[in-house]
Chains A and B, each alone.
Chain A
Amino acid sequence: MADIAELEKLVVQVRRDILRMVHKVNSGHPGGSLGCTEFFVTLYNEIMELKDGFDMDGIGEDIFFLSNGHISPVFYSVLSRRGYFPVEELNTFRLIDSRLQGHPTTHEGLPGVRVASGSLGQGMSVAIGAAQAKKLNNDNHLVFSLHGDGELQEGQNWEAIMYAAGHKVDNLIATIDRNGQQIDGPTEEVMPLGDVSEKFRVFGWDVLEIEDGNDLQQVIDGLNEAKRRTGKGKPVCIVMTTMMGNGVDFMMHTHAWHGKAPNDEQLETALAQNPETLGDY
């Protein structure tokens, strides 16, 4: 059973990491990162079966792909706090000569990252390929992926969604971060996505929903349910509703913090709402 209190501490600490990382370099994407903090914390500490250390092939363990690479702050924070690399390295985010590039890459050899992402819409195809490689290798572990909802406007996703159902890639769990926001505004104003769950369903996926992706128990239950649904002939999709900027009152209910860092004063306010739990990097 999950120790919710311990995971909650980690969630708050990861929020602090995200805020401090983007503040230091006055750039990066805090909004979506904060919205997906509970998801990442749960996935890496409660759901995925992981080996010690990191190797690119990931045979014999679950693997994860971040398609919407701009939420790299939450990815980096959770990877480092899971032990993939020293938490002190979060200090180098977006700085010259860092392994923590603005968007995740394999180029600098950062443990935990298996493909570059940032140019949107490519991660689902990559996750499908990795899932099929697992089948070829008789490796019964799972592939997880995360995608922004706005990212679904990229057509390649729909090629991938069609393929995954057609090829019965049932060892894949793709989660859509349905925060309803993108850079230019609400998704339903910029380019309406409509009923995302139904779209996946009619393409042949098994779909479940997490109504509040910022509620740890709901995220744990949803991901566990998704795991139970694998291996049954259909790829599994989780449509997870989240609040962009979650945990920082002035960053919520707006798309304003999609790609903007807080100033000194705003950082202080935001950190006060998220007191240190496990020690800052």
Chain B
Amino acid sequence: MTKYTDQGKQDTRSGYGAGMTELGRTNPNVVALCADLVGSLKIQTFIDENPDRFFQVGIAEANMMGIAAGMTIGGKIPFASTFANFATGRVYDQIRQSIAYSDKNVKICASHAGVTLGEDGATHQILEDIGLMKMLPGMTVINPCDFNQTKAATLASAKHHGPVYLRFGRPKVANFTPVDQKFEIGKAVLLSEGADVSIIATGHLVWQSLIAAENLKNQGISCEVINIHTIKPLDEKAILDSAKKTGCVVTAEEHNFLGGLGESVARTLAGHHPTPQEFVATKDTFGESGTPDQLMDKYGLNAKAIEAAVHRVIKRK
């Protein structure tokens, strides 16, 4: 197996920006919309190079979702971007009726997801967005783990026909997946083979899972680590194959345990291969102000929390 190392810390939102820059140069149908957060979404290069294909909507996210839906009529591929909180909960019905139910080829691109948004606090830290989006029929939900993967996911979203929710974050985190990787929507990535437990993670928690696996290896526990960048459609085969091999599962995500990756995994296991599972996720709570590291620690969303969950779940085998 490839041994993954940090190639240098970068933010996943910059991966989105890099993806948009490339799409601006390669796909003339791609258009970008933003609700007064251009700097945060890292799309200035796209705007500079393609001013006619950028639409500043102002602080009006509902309108942005409707305009994006309308632009698909005529063959455009709109990437509508803002913070995850304002890209989902605030505009749920606009996404539901004008995009998902109408099967519009809109890419909803959501930065600053989860508690790692940090100091702004709970008003801006959505932990419910994966649940909201995965419940919409026809919606694809993607939560890449690092800069390189976010760029690859952005490019893959443009090629996929249909509504996509692409979720990423604010802080600089380890960039460890291959540059110019092939990104297949709906296909899990096996990062590390193991025999004792399956750690199934998404987003920022994938790197934390690799750290946990390394620490646990020193304690004699062999961990399988799977990166679920696509929560819907879920790669059920990859999950079941691993669970059958290891006999227990830890899911890890920067999201509420209600409605997140963990629940999707649990539904898969319950239906096909009931398996003990522990959830590393927020426990039906809002976040608060703090640094990303402080918040990940306080809310149990880091390697330490994953290691503890592994010890708990192995005892339940």
Known: A116-B97, A119-B97, A163-B67. A133 touches B60 (CB 8 A): no
Chain A CB within 10 Å, residue with most, of B52, B55, B65, B67: B67
B1 CB–A CB distance under 8 Å: no
Number of interface residues, chain B, beta carbon within 8 A: 32
Q: Which residues of B contact A139 (CB under 8 A)?
A: 74
Known: A58-B74, A136-B53. A163 touches B97 (CB 8 A): no
Of the candidate stretches B81-89, B98-106, B224-232, the one touching chain A is: B98-106
B71 with A115: CB separation less than 8 A: no
Residues 56 to 110 of chain A near chain B (Cβ within 8 Å)? 56-59, 63, 65, 105-107
Q: How far is the CB of B281 from chain A (nearest CB, A)?
A: 31
Known: A125-B67, A136-B53. A163 touches B73 (CB 8 A): no
A162 CB–B CB distance under 8 Å: yes
Q: How far is the CB of B89 from chain A (nearest CB, A)?
A: 15
Chain A CB within 10 Å, residue with most, of B58, B73, B78: B73
Residues 118 to 158 of chain A near chain B (Cβ within 8 Å)? 118-119, 122-134, 136-137, 139, 155-156
Q: Mark B62-76 against chain A: 1 for CB-CB distance below 8 A, else 0.
A: 111111111111111
Chain B CB within 10 Å, residue with most, of A114, A118, A122, A156: A122
Interface of B is mostly: helix
A129 with B62: CB separation less than 8 A: no
A163 with B63: CB separation less than 8 A: yes
A160 CB–B CB distance under 8 Å: yes
Q: What band does the interface of chain A fall in when counting residues whose beta carbon is under 8 Å from B? A: 35 or more
A159 CB–B CB distance under 8 Å: yes
Measured CB to CB, the nearest residue on chain A to B75 is: A57
| 16 residue pairs A–B, Cβ–Cβ below 8 Å | A63-B73, A115-B73, A125-B63, A125-B64, A126-B66, A126-B67, A128-B66, A130-B71, A133-B71, A133-B74, A137-B74, A159-B58, A159-B60, A162-B58, A163-B58, A163-B67
Ranked nearest first, the 9 interchain pairs of A and B with the lowest CB-CB distance are A129-B70, A125-B66, A133-B74, A159-B63, A159-B60, A129-B67, A126-B70, A130-B70, A129-B71
Interface residues, chain A, CB within 8 Å of chain B?
56-59, 63, 65, 105-107, 114-119, 122-134, 136-137, 139, 155-156, 159-160, 162-163, 166-167
